[in-house]
Structure 1
């Protein structure tokens, strides 16, 4: 196979990987709102996750659109990366961001049951924790600060403050929010010793999408013969790696530490929220979606 054939094969593989990751990552946003709708409650899901997702994907979509379509941003990118002047961003990245934002907004709206015709549930927490609110405020402040520095910059040198830095700030903000959006849910599962209310199907799809997203980014950087394409697209590179790390944690929680628990019509994957099974076979009983020891523990 000639070098030209190899490059053509790599480009085709990159396109296939990109649209497959788009499909898997996009599908990963459906199980949670569908699960909430079947159970008619958001019990077991923290509001921090969809709220940080909405803000994060706003940043991701804006950054991706600018790298794709803004001549000024692309010119500044080429000046910063002369050996690989083409951003490793594809249209499927933008399509994913827009679609994800819509689904995350829908999921967040489900914390207000009256909008969906559900009966209010007392133990549903709608207010994000103080750490989440602080992170959102700090992220917004950082974006405003970098924008101000760019507006006051008079030098056009590539290493000076430029609009590309605002785009990078949006990308790094998305990465920061990705870390913190998963943390409350990991803690909630640990505290409840249960993954009830948290869709494992979402995690499985997210894991597959993360692998394919990384594959496309590696192929595109290899085609440019310059690995700075990885660092030049921090949002995509970091998003895939962080998501994969937390997906592994959720998979261990669900399949090793706290389940899976066989349920009837209720529980973590559907129904009206009632668990019809009594025991999960490993010394626990299931009560209202949570695993509790069959034998009393000493205090």
Structure 2
């Protein structure tokens, strides 16, 4: 899939196309296939593949951006299910989605041994009592809308739990690391497109080396994922390199073209606006460096 995304983004779509591949194949497909119940896999995966349903994921909150452990949305046990209360922000593709993967606390932090405990995932209908959403106007990536989402005593059935009750953190990371592969593929394609639009800049070997380095690392992450092996470090490194290379590459391609680089007809201004998002989304450069420091360099956790 990473190779397909690279090609599509390079052909003219830019990095924002990768977001479309996040919502259904990752937030829907990966989550359901790996952690959904047998009934979920039987009923939802064929519909997802056929394009009959679409998905989104509600993770980010006003006070829990890159540090997802600060999330406050809470699912309180109620009968055979739960009641959701809280707010999410910057949630992609809500208006077109049928199903929403919701990340919530099911046990208070003070009642858990670790902050990573007490988090659970739920797959619920977007059209549901107590669930409302509103669109956020933004500078770029217009093909995928972003929304505020509000839960007010939103009912969740017992069979809508996806994965392990109170143990959803590791399952969430699996979904998010797969998202990194998709994001990097989109950025690789976008900067290749920008280089092609600015021929003079395309001869800059260092810039091309950086994005090809990101592509190789991303392919390695995808191969490890397909082999069922750990791939988080490779996926995060690839995303870091790709986001920085895309920002610099598209900026310099724009500079090379002068005023026409700022004109809509050349498409560079669109690539420039869209690429800026990926310096801090779906995970910021700072959080990736923290991850590498702890997991690969053995440094003490300082955040």
Whether TM exceeds 0.5 here: the answer is no
User: Relative contact order (alpha carbons < 8 A, sep ≥ 6): 1 or 2 greater?
Assistant: 1
Greater fraction of residues in strand:
2
TM-score, structure 2 length as denominator?
Answer: 0.29
TM-score, structure 1 length as denominator?
Answer: 0.29
Greater fraction of residues in helix:
1
